Amino acid sequence: MTERYVWDLHEVDETRIAAVGGKGAHLGGLSRIEGIRVPGGFCVTTDAFRRIMAEAPSIDERLDQLSRLDPDDREAIGALSARIRRTIEEIAIPGDLVAAVTGALARLGEQAAYAVRSSATAEDLPTASFAGQQDTYLNVMGPAAILRHISRCWASLFTERAVTYRQRNGIDHRTVHMAVVVQRMVFPHAAGVLFTADPVTGDRKVATVDAGLGLGEALVSGLVNPDVFKVRHGEIIARTIAAKQRAVHALPAGGTREVAVDPRRQELPALTDAQVVRLVELGRRIEAHFGRPQDIEWCLADDGFQIVQSRPVTTLFPVPDSGDQENHVYVSVGHGQMMTDPVKPLGLSMWRLTAMVPMHEAGGRLFVDVTRRLAAPASRAGLLDVMGRGDPLIRDALETVLDRGDFVPSLPDSGPGAPPAGGAPAPIETDPAVIAELIERSRASIAALERDIRTKTGPALFDFLLEVFEEHKRVLGDPLNIRAIMAGMEATWWLNDTLWEWLGEKNAADTLTLSAPDNVTSEMGLALLDVADVIRPWPEVVAFLQGVEDEGFLDELPKLAGGTEARDAIEDYLDRYGMRCVGEMDITRPRWRERPTSLVPVILDNVRNFAPGAAERRFEQGRQKARKKEQDVLSRLRALPDGDRKAGEAKRMIDRVRTFIGYREYPKYGIISRYFVYKQALLEEAGRLVRAEVLPEKEDIFYLTFQELHDVVRSHQVDERLIQERKDAFRSYHALTPPRVLTSDGEALTGSYRRDDVPAGALIGVPVSAGTIEGRARVIHDMAEADLAAGDILVTTFTDPSWSPLFVGIAGLVTEVGGLMTHGAVIAREYGLPAVVGVERATRLIRDGQRIRVHGTDGYVEILP
């Protein structure tokens, strides 16, 4: 194919990204939209860039060096990228390339002023906006100057910022090429940026216009504050007019300069209301063309608006597809499950197939549509109560939507979304035998699954799993199971509410539930202390584990003194708990059985920080504290008026909470046990597909839905492009923060605590485990990287049950996500750890190593000097 060095803008569209880069392709697409004016210009293609790179073979070696650098080594990246830029700028542009550029300039007007803009092939894509990473030059005049600035744009592919971004996002430097856009300059009265969705709230129906006088560079560079207009349905709903003291103007001989604005114009809006509304109309037309919200740079000259750039807004959280035009309110599933990371497609589809309620996917996360339950007064009250107890921020966000009055429709209680007829289920007896029966039912169901799945392969496996998913839901929906879970939660709420009313004591249930029986998650943490007891006496084993990196280390242990005992202890632990892992609701996450090295740091912490017999001692200490607390509470109640009755009621509730609260953790254990059986069967099927050369890697199945994988197994054909698209999308989802509540308009709501009873500067959260503790904060994002000392306070995003082995070695807990009955809160109470959860941005506001004070009773955290 013949190389082509120049394309006119009107010749290109979004299909030409490889030739003209993201910016050039978008501008070409814009120029084809009816009613949208784009300044005339041309693109210097990536063919030209490759030609230039070929002129300097030394760049290849430097790119190899660059790819080996740590993204955080700013000094090395800065020095090497500067050398690459200098090399590119010093390359003499070949004659035929010069002729192509000067010929295009002659057609447009050789002596006119131009903007010269970089346009990288990985720029302005739907999943990644590279705004500001390469260079733009304004008011460039004359062929020689334009050619010089084209060279600078090529070199700007290797600015320190652009290089670091690619290193962090796993983008190979050689796969990105640079085109250059050369456009006729517009000399505007006003310029700025239009977001077709509110960039702060995400609301897709609110457009935001930032406007200033002169060239838009004054706004982009932060030289001036813009006028800001918000527009909904063609009406301006908010405005802020800035004092415009400075502006950037073009110079007659080329270049730009900063000038003072006439005092009489400083307080006047840069645009009239009619112009703002007209601009938003143009923006909606552009948004419709590209199919997603846009960040648009515009200019207003004598003859109207011209668009000089449009890129996708990549920071907005996607909206679930409802299939209709009605209003919807969605609540995050991940915040309730302590798993706000993105989930791969197979994980999402398996979760949805085994869930008790319909779920909707967006941004690699799952949401439940609560619109109908909010619409009817009776179901609304129940929903808000449950949400408020679990996560007050979700309740506040839902109330914010309801307070608007017109977003959620009103339904009578008898309509869809009303509570089921028949009233509440009969109360369950306080009998430990109920828990024993439920645990035995779960074990029997999982044993039957393990037995029956062994003979299933190919399409028959998928038919079998669809039947098994119904059994999965039957076990979860067993009325006795739900009544047992609710009995423990309701007893906790009763004790906290009533003992506060009668005795003025906050969160009394926290101590009363210490070392409750049948809590499989807290048992899991204590059991790892027992593993440490086996390993501690064997120095060779301890030294070996300190250097472990390979997942096959268990097979090497018997070669060491004490190694057989150590291996057997770890294997026994994995037999009981190996199906667990961080983010375990995503079936694609590696389990401890698959990646046992993830447990090694915790085992070594336990070896170092605890004496033998710690598990039994801790459990017994908790039991004694709970018993002493019970005696104290009952004796104080008997001293009150009508004390015998109050003490009798409290005693019944204490017995009830200790009978049922531990079981709160068991259903999740059953779900994850079943998930691991499903996963092993699906990976065996993936292995067959790899051997048949249908798939290159077993883990590729994680990027297919369950039904898509079923189709691949049946047809032995796979769409490799789809898998790659899913991998790229999944990578992009990590940059998105899922909201607690999301509307169908795209508005993301996080909620507020609305408290004024905490010290200034304190971080507010939900009090979930009583007590106050001061210590060193350890900000940890990955359990496998934990390095904890006695007295440390764990600060992290979320803790699902897999984090509980860490809990035995810490003094307190702070998380960004969680509520009173989420797993981290339950285990913190079980171990007697002061804990505050739901602390927004805790891992960013608290630095690793800082001293903090956690107020687990009152629900706030102080950062100490």
> Which region among 90-94, 299-303, 563-567, 625-629 has the lowest average model confidence (pLDDT)?
299-303
The one catalytic residue in 177, 472, 823, 855 is: 823
Tell me which residue of 93, 73, 173 sits closest to 133, measured CA to CA: 173
Local confidence band at 786 (pLDDT 50, 70, 90 cut-offs) = confident
Count Cβ atoms below 10 Å from residue 217 Cβ, excluding itself: 16
What distance in Å separates the CA atoms of residue 108 and residue 442, rounded to the nearest whole number?
A: 76
pTM recorded for the entire structure: 0.86
- For residue 357, give the 3-state DSSP assignment: coil
Higher pLDDT residue, 50 or 73?
A: 50
Structure-block tokens of residue 859: 């629900």
Count Cβ atoms below 10 Å from residue 835 Cβ, excluding itself: 33
Any residues with CB less than 8 A from the CB of 521 and at least 6 apart, and which? 665, 668, 669, 801, 804, 823, 826, 827, 830
What distance in Å separates the CA atoms of residue 391 and residue 749, rounded to the nearest whole number?
A: 13
Q: 636-690 pLDDT, tens per residue?
A: 999 999 999 999 999 999 999 999 999 999 999 999 999 999 999 999 999 999 9
What distance in Å separates the CA atoms of residue 520 and residue 362, rounded to the nearest whole number?
A: 32
- Average pLDDT, rounded, for the chain: 91
Burial class (CB in 10 A: 0-12, 13-18, 19+), 70: exposed
- For residue 193, give the 3-state DSSP assignment: strand
Q: 165-177 pLDDT, tens per residue?
A: 787 777 778 888 9
Q: Which amino acid is at 614?
A: A
Residue 177 bears catalytic tag: no
Q: 182-230 pLDDT, tens per residue?
A: 999 988 889 999 999 999 899 999 999 999 888 877 666 666 788 999 9
Residue 417 confidence (pLDDT) above 60:
no
Q: State the pLDDT at residue 221.
A: 61
Q: State the pLDDT at residue 162.
A: 83
Region label for 563, one of left (φ > 0), alpha (ψ between -120 and 50) or beta (otherwise): alpha
Local confidence band at 63 (pLDDT 50, 70, 90 cut-offs) = confident
Q: What mean pLDDT comes out for the span 73-88?
A: 88
> Which region among 46-50, 124-128, 370-374 has the lowest average model confidence (pLDDT)?
124-128
> 């694609």: which residue's tokens?
588
Q: Are 650 and 656 within 8 A, CB to CB?
A: no
Identify each DSSP E strand in 9-133 by its residue range.
Answer: 41-44, 113-120
Any residues with CB less than 8 A from the CB of 262 and at least 6 apart, and which? none
Q: 247-272 pLDDT, tens per residue?
A: 777 777 677 777 777 777 777 899 99
Beta bridge pairs of residue 421: none
- DSSP states of 405-439 as a string? SSSSPP--TTSTTSPPTT-SPPPPP--HHHHHHHH
Q: State the pLDDT at residue 113.
A: 92
Q: State the pLDDT at residue 295.
A: 93
Residue 527 confidence (pLDDT) above 70:
yes
Q: State the pLDDT at residue 257.
A: 74
> Which region among 46-60, 335-349, 486-500, 714-728 has the lowest average model confidence (pLDDT)?
46-60
> 């860490």: which residue's tokens?
806
Q: State the pLDDT at residue 124.
A: 45
CA 249 from chain center: how many Å? Answer: 42
CA 178 from chain center: how many Å? Answer: 31
What distance in Å separates the CA atoms of residue 214 and residue 188, rounded to the nearest whole number?
A: 6
Local confidence band at 823 (pLDDT 50, 70, 90 cut-offs) = confident
Structure-block tokens of residue 407: 């977003």
Local confidence band at 138 (pLDDT 50, 70, 90 cut-offs) = confident
Any residues with CB less than 8 A from the CB of 237 and at least 6 apart, and which? 206, 230, 231
Q: What mean pLDDT comes out for the span 306-335?
A: 93
Q: Which amino acid is at 841?
A: R
Q: Are 817 and 800 within 8 A, CB to CB?
A: no
Q: What mean pLDDT comes out for the span 344-368?
A: 97
Q: State the pLDDT at residue 267.
A: 77
Helices (H), 216-323: 217-220, 273-290
Count Cβ atoms below 10 Å from residue 508 Cβ, excluding itself: 24
Q: What mean pLDDT comes out for the span 305-316?
A: 90
User: Within 13 Å and on the Cβ side, how many CA atoms surround 623?
Assistant: 8
Q: 385-407 pLDDT, tens per residue?
A: 989 888 999 999 999 999 988 89
